[in-house]
């Protein structure tokens, strides 16, 4: 069903404004597309806590783990172009990966967080790519691969980056720029050029308050030795949110959580995915590759998040057991949220794409009501 742009704006604009007036938002932007066209683009608030610099149409901001969606699109495109199936084994393309009982792990298991490599036993720095890859090669799975899934918060980006390097002979950041960002004219970066820093909003850590649910996850997040704690602290480094405001850090192509861009470009990217992998007359993905994105590969209690989650090849999906849908009301919708409130997804069933970005983080790792109320409003109009 076709959304009406003016009706959509009338419904969403007041809710977006409430995010600032009632829910403590500092600066934010939301973008909604349908059928390859922009329907609504809104922005408001400020780029800084001093409320000096207004958020504008060309403001960029850190999108945290929403970067994983960009990275997943890259690795799936590499596989598509080289006619590699996701049921093939990772070690076919990355021989050193076969150590410590990982020789049978498939690309599908790796991409759907089933490989058991969410945390590292070795202490390595997040900015030392070679050391992280060596640690991943030596790491034994933390559970039998394929028997369940657990969110690979930090390691996921390194795993898919190395796959792109092995198969395409270039880094994932380079592949993103040449394959998607430049052809689609996306103001969306995995490794920000120095010249763009003047447009970036400062990101702020969540304010103290009552932790969201599930309580056990957030409790384990602060407890040394737990799987949750190890998952979110290995590889180590860049644990202070303020560190991500350093231009030298912004320049690093950190695939797990370092992407920087605008809501409109993030939504435009997902609009391409929501329209069968094509936009403006250019086809990026085949029907088979799109099915890898839309088909759920694992669904159940997440060993890290400790709630029901689901994943396709590289993207998050709504679990059949989720209490709260985060990707709209289509069973084939998929996307990837970012810590603190950023959120993005594509819905091929309704040809809808959505993106929400902000600079004042909330405590929640998964999307909160600031964006989900807007998503609900969109689907109420269908």
Contact 255, 172 (CB under 8 A): yes
Average pLDDT over residues 164-189: 98
- pTM of the model as a whole: 0.97
Given this model, what pLDDT does residue 220 score? 86
* CATH code for the domain in which residue 75 is found: 3.40.710.10
Half-sphere exposure for 343 (CA within 13 Å, toward CB):
26
User: Taking 90 as the threshold, does the pLDDT of residue 210 lie above it?
Assistant: no
Q: What is the pLDDT of residues 95-121, one digit of tens each?
A: 999 999 999 999 999 999 999 999 999
> If residue 45 lies in a helix (H) or strand (E), which one and from where to where?
strand 37-45
pLDDT at 151: 97
Domain count, the chain: 1
Q: What angle do CA 72, 73, 77 make, to 5 degrees?
A: 115
Closest CA to 79 of 70, 87, 69, 68: 87
- The residue range of the domain holding 121 is 5-380
Distance CA 16, CA 9 (A): 10
Q: Is a pLDDT exceeding 80 seen at residue 340?
A: yes
């Amino acid at each position: 069903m076709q959304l009406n742009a003016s009706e959509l704006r009338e419904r969403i604009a007041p809710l977006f404004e409430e995010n600032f007036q009632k829910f403590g938002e500092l600066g934010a932007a939301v973008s909604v597309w349908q059928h390859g066209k922009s329907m609504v683009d809104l922005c408001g608030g400020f780029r800084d806590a001093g409320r000096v610099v207004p958020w504008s149409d060309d403001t960029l901001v850190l999108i945290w783990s929403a970067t994983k969606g960009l990275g997943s699109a890259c690795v799936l495109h590499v596989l598509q172009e080289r006619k590699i199936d996701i049921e093939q084994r990772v070690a076919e393309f990355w021989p050193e990966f076969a150590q410590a009982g990982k020789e049978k792990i498939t690309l599908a298991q790796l991409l759907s967080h089933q490989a058991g490599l969410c945390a590292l036993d070795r202490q390595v720095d997040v900015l030392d790519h070679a050391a992280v890859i060596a640690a991943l090669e030596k790491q034994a799975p933390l559970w039998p691969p394929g028997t369940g899934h657990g969110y690979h918060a930090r390691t996921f980006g390194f795993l898919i980056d190395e796959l792109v390097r092995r198969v395409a002979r270039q880094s994932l950041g380079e592949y993103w720029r040449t394959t998607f960002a430049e052809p689609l004219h996306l103001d969306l970066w995995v490794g920000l050029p120095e010249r763009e820093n003047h447009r970036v909003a400062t990101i702020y850590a969540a304010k103290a308050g009552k932790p969201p649910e599930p309580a056990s996850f957030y409790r384990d997040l602060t407890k040394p030795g737990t799987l949750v704690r190890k998952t979110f602290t290995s590889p180590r480094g860049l644990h202070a949110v303020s560190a991500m405001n350093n231009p030298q850090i912004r320049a690093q192509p950190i695939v797990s959580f370092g992407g920087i861009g605008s809501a409109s470009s993030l939504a435009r990217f997902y609009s391409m995915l929501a329209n069968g992998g094509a936009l403006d007359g250019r086809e990026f993905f085949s029907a088979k590759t799109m099915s890898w994105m839309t088909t759920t590969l694992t669904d159940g209690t997440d060993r890290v998040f400790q709630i029901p989650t689901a994943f396709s090849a590289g993207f998050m999906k709504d679990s059949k057991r989720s209490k709260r849908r985060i990707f709209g009301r289509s069973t084939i919708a998929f996307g990837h949220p970012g810590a603190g409130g950023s959120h993005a997804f594509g819905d091929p069933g309704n040809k809808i794409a959505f993106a929400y970005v902000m600079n004042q983080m909330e405590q929640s790792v998964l999307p909160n009501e600031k964006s989900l109320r807007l998503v609900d409003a969109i689907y109420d109009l269908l």
